[in-house]
Structure 1
């Protein structure tokens, strides 16, 4: 007692005394009340969200063997087609359903080079209607523009101007293209014209 300044517990007394601090008890009860209140608030918020969402939902079911289109995942480069992935169709396929996984997922028969997991949520699938794989009717297909119809050689310079950016100053000219009217003239950088059309002579007094 002289060494420690208090009456130490003897080994036999350890665990026998059960001292309770009223402040700790009150704090624990307050935390439990706040936890119950938080759980009740979360449950009420979920119920409100469910009440708004459920009327707009509809059950979508597919049968094994049906053909469906797959909405291409945004990060899946192997399923996108065309030279520009950003302009690829939103849906690809059709693919055959091999198996139903649970209530909301299906396994598809994907090509061997797809390199993605073949199980998808039902929200990514769209049922194939009819036998045609062409998603755009023939009457709506726009004929490609012939390369020969695009003006590709400058004919004359109509006007010039200077443009300034934060870092430098550059010159532009209003170019009239061959076999095209002045209404179709476009503003082009002088450096771009000199690089693309080295044989085209620009007025030296304008760009000196």
Structure 2
């Protein structure tokens, strides 16, 4: 049984100076969990340099000075960067220590009435582009 379970596991090690992507969990804030385009949001961020190995499974990364999260991550949150990458999705500005994205409403862009006569408002979120605006139930915005 152990042999079967270990069959899909890999021994992943990163060297100091190697470039890696950082995997962050999906948005955990309940009001934006049902977005239409959540499947299209980036799963990995960065190209960040490994500064040091801490213990058997943890690595310290060189994060931007504006990052507000702890720079030590488990190897399971990292993915080796192979080749040259020019596109660099940045860390979300509103990322907390628990790797949760906290969003603040910037403005209400519209109102619509659904078939069941409940109202929804279109909210533009602070620090996000216009296409990330979401329809939220009016009751949650009070």
TM-score by length of 2: 0.50
Larger Rg: 1 or 2?
1
Which has the larger strand fraction?
Answer: 2
Which has the larger helix fraction?
Answer: 1
TM-score by length of 1: 0.35
Q: Larger relative contact order (C-alpha < 8 A, sep ≥ 6)?
A: 2
